[in-house]
Amino acid sequence: MGRRMKQGSDGMDTVLVGGGGFLLAAGAIFLAIDKIGKSEMADRRKRLLTYALIAALIALTISIFHWHRAVYLAANG
């Protein structure tokens, strides 16, 4: 049988916190992308800012997975 994860505050809280943080960040980033798209700045600048925001969201996602993995391995290592 597989190992069971112990219940408690160090269990799967990273999923809840990371998921909530991701949803908040994604919402803020998509609102910012929408505002950038409606702004009157140059098209090249809009495109670069949009790419930068999407890259930031990807980096946040990777860091959340890394954090969750590190906590899981520390608890079940």
pLDDT in tens, 16-29: 999 999 999 999 99
Query: Rounded mean pLDDT of 54-77?
Result: 92
Q: Note whether residue 53 is domain-resident.
A: yes
Query: Rounded mean pLDDT of 33-57?
Result: 97
C-beta neighbour count of 47 within 10 angstroms: 12
In the structure encoding, which two tokens stand for residue 29, read together?
């980033």
| Helix (H) / strand (E) containing 6 | none
Q: Note whether residue 23 is domain-resident.
A: yes
Q: Note whether residue 48 is domain-resident.
A: yes
pLDDT at 14: 86
Q: Note whether residue 5 is domain-resident.
A: no
Query: Rounded mean pLDDT of 32-56?
Result: 97
More confidently predicted of 75 and 60? 60
C-beta neighbour count of 53 within 10 angstroms: 17
In angstroms, rounded to a whole number, what is the distance separating the alpha carbons of residues 28 and 34? 10
- Give me the number of domains the chain comprises: 1
In angstroms, rounded to a whole number, what is the distance separating the alpha carbons of residues 52 and 33? 10
Query: Rounded mean pLDDT of 21-43?
Result: 96
Q: What's the count of helices (H) and strands (E) in the chain, helices before strands?
A: 2, 0
Range of the domain at 34: 13-76
pLDDT at 76: 86
Q: Note whether residue 8 is domain-resident.
A: no
